[in-house]
Amino acid sequence: MVKKEESAGNMSVLEGERCPFCYQKTLSLREAERDIPYFGVVYLFSMDCSNTECNYHKADIECAESTNEGVKYTVEIDSEEDMKIRVIKASTATIKIPHVGSIEPGEASNGYVTNVEGVLNRLKKQVEILRDESEDKSDVKKAKNIIKKLTKVMWGQEKLKITLEDPAGNSAIVSEKAVKSKL
């Protein structure tokens, strides 16, 4: 594949780069700038390998105005309407949901812009994988209960508290309901 650089609006794409995992020249690098209402300008970065045997993917987000101060956001989800609350999660952030689970930073962690429903669906998928792969009946039962709880929360039938912590300050929960503090 030939290297080419495109610029579509505020997105630039560089194709034909060497993948860090399969070493083929099948990696596409993308960078985009977005203005997120009530948060500000962010830069979205991603790497995607088109080699079907590899499919490497890495994405992250960085604030244009980042002060690199750690932030913590806490929000109580208590209605179906809260599923629309915007969540900006950098790869350095941790999302904690008491008695349910967490999304931790690390080498495989990605950054993304989503909403509360998207976060809960990500957790739900992980719990479903654990349920399907576990041979321990008590673990399967716990997983089923967590899935049931997440579904009830998404339907507005149960409350849930979400905490987002980011030592780099590139993440946020964008809502008047969210309480922001220093980490």
Which residue, 114, 113, 124, 122, is CA-closest to 152? 124
- Mean predicted confidence (pLDDT) in 133-156: 94
Residue 109 pLDDT class (50, 70, 90 cuts): confident
pLDDT for the residue numbered 68: 75
Q: How many C-beta atoms surround the C-beta of residue 57 within 10 A?
A: 11
CB of 44 within 8 A of CB of 51? Answer: no
pLDDT for the residue numbered 65: 80
Residues written for the chain: 183
- Mean predicted confidence (pLDDT) in 18-23: 94
Q: At residue 33, does pLDDT exceed 60? A: yes
Which residue, 182, 147, 151, is CA-closest to 168? 182
151 vs 40, residue with greater confidence: 151
Instruction: Determine the Cα–Cα distance for residues 90 and 76; give it in Å rounded to an integer.
Output: 21
* Domains observed in the chain: 4-63 (2.20.25), 71-182 (2.60.120.1040)
